[in-house]
A = this chain, B = another copy of it.
């Protein structure tokens, strides 16, 4: 193993590398904080107590409840913005966010340096942050990286290490005190002057603000920024004003057309359609459908198609769902409105239909990341899901999977709720066996994001592989007409078609980012990509 030389000694970046329980080389110190290498699924037990924010007092807040200040700059100054602080923002507005850039522009103006940016995810719209990293305003980013910032980090240009956490992992990190947020800046489509806020109304409506909830609870200071001020009470109050220090009103907080799609579209790709249909059929044949079953699906083209096929099967079989969870789209809303399901539990809304339903339908409700995804709580509802269907960038012969890097080693996707979702009773990954002439089932994944023991089924256009650990699923589908194969068979077919095995990414010596497991241990390292 080519980085074996580092084991047990400090390299030039000041970190030591050790091999974790998954056989991956990981640093023991990340951005100056001592970390625990991955110990195996369900092996690491936390100790200590939750983070505790300072005790505030009503004496310091206006008794008329009006916390509005004149500008974001004023708010940041009031909250004591200064060198070395951690500032959090959120990706509710996806590629339509304009607040994060403004925050760091202001920091630059004020001469503040070495900030840690702690976003829930970055998007291409955040490219301007690169100049703030170049000038030293932002020291580094901890959050899902992709697009230009992912590339910047992959090329080893960021000062600190990237830390990639799942949505639940981010909640956990805040709760457990791994990340102390000095100032949280929460873009809110609707808010009152007291700071109560939601994402359901206004021109920047984006759906649930679940991602921002832990920041509101644990940050020292909380700023709500809105372009739709309503009289108290702003209800629902996803963000509760009692945690908010000040409110900023702006003409515009996002680019509506980039915040949420008008409608999300099902894939037109025949292979992906085939994969989606097989995933739905597998759920039927494996006996996972029953009255009151719970399922979750994402918002990618294949997942949307899966939801459509599932709906058809539910009608054929006369089966009703109890809870339908996820990043929600109009396709799931349709199932609810047809009376085929009892509840939608919505962590993120991906289209306008989802937001409309969330506003109108009492059984379409906002779901907190604590509830589904924070592994350091008293249970996760995700483990109660009968089936979850997810995508991946790569899988390997041991069912390990990758969702953050491509096979060239570049960071190109956020983790989202992906790792957290692996706790489902049946986790199904959908993946084309070949992409751009490269087999997607490898000897070993480029980056380990999901341990194979948690991945039950891999569905490709060539067939379905069931993890040998899941004898129950193998037996349940023994009479199925679906093309059930071993993962090695599918791997070989894809390699034969491509005329080669998957290439191994060539990379440099430097760890540019780490992937945290849901329990906060370090699952894998992401390496600097080899200079072209």
Contacts and interface: CB of A to CB of B under 8 A. Distances in A.
Given A61-B378, A379-B65, A175 B232 contact: no
Interface string A32-57: 00000000001001111111111111
Contacts of A376: 55-58
A473 interface: no
A378 B241 contact: yes
A368 B240 contact: yes
B48 A365 contact: no
Given A322-B231, A381-B232, A45 B59 contact: yes
Interface in A51-83: 51-65, 67
Interface string A325-367: 0000000000000000001010000000000000000110100
A318 interface: no
A243 interface: yes
Interface string A183-202: 00000000000110000000
A311 interface: no
Given A46-B57, A50-B52, A292 B381 contact: no
Given A242-B371, A383-B65, A56 B362 contact: no
Interface in A400-439: 423, 425
A67 B381 CA distance: 12
A233 interface: yes
A384 interface: yes
A67 to B, nearest CB: 7
Interface in A280-319: 292, 294
Contacts of A60: 378
Nearest to A50: B52
Given A243-B378, A379-B242, A51 B52 contact: yes
A257 interface: no
Given A52-B52, A240-B368, A378-B244, A45 B63 contact: no
A370 B55 CA distance: 13
A244 B195 CA distance: 28
Contacts of A47: 55
Nearest to A384: B65
A379 B194 contact: yes
A195 B56 contact: no
B242 A58 contact: no
Interface in A214-250: 222, 231-233, 235, 237, 240-245
B241 A381 contact: yes
Contacts of A374: 242
The secondary-structure label for the interface of chain A is: loop
Contacts of A383: 58, 63-65
A377 interface: yes
A371 B241 contact: yes
Contacts of A232: 294, 322-323, 381, 384
A362 B385 CA distance: 29
A176 interface: yes
A519 interface: yes
Contacts of A368: 240
A380 interface: yes
A453 to B, nearest CB: 14
A471 B369 CA distance: 50
Contact of A54 (B49, B54, B245): B49
Contacts of A194: 379, 381, 384
Given A49-B55, A384-B194, A242 B377 contact: yes
A519 B60 CA distance: 13
Interface in A9-48: 42, 45-48
A117 to B, nearest CB: 24
A381 B62 CA distance: 10
Contacts of A62: 379
A454 to B, nearest CB: 11
A278 to B, nearest CB: 26
A63 B454 CA distance: 13
A46 to B, nearest CB: 4
A223 B46 CA distance: 22
- What 8 pairs between A and B have smallest CB-CB spacing? A61-B379, A63-B383, A52-B52, A49-B52, A242-B377, A65-B384, A50-B52, A46-B55
Given A49-B55, A51-B52, A63-B425, 17 more contacts: A49-B54, A55-B376, A56-B376, A57-B375, A58-B375, A63-B384, A65-B384, A67-B379, A232-B381, A233-B323, A233-B343, A235-B365, A240-B370, A242-B377, A242-B378, A242-B380, A244-B378
9 contacts: A46-B55, A46-B56, A50-B53, A55-B175, A63-B379, A64-B383, A65-B381, A242-B370, A242-B377
Interface of A: 42, 45-65, 67, 175-176, 194-195, 222, 231-233, 235, 237, 240-245, 292, 294, 322-323, 343, 345, 362-363, 365, 368, 370-371, 374-381, 383-384, 423, 425, 519
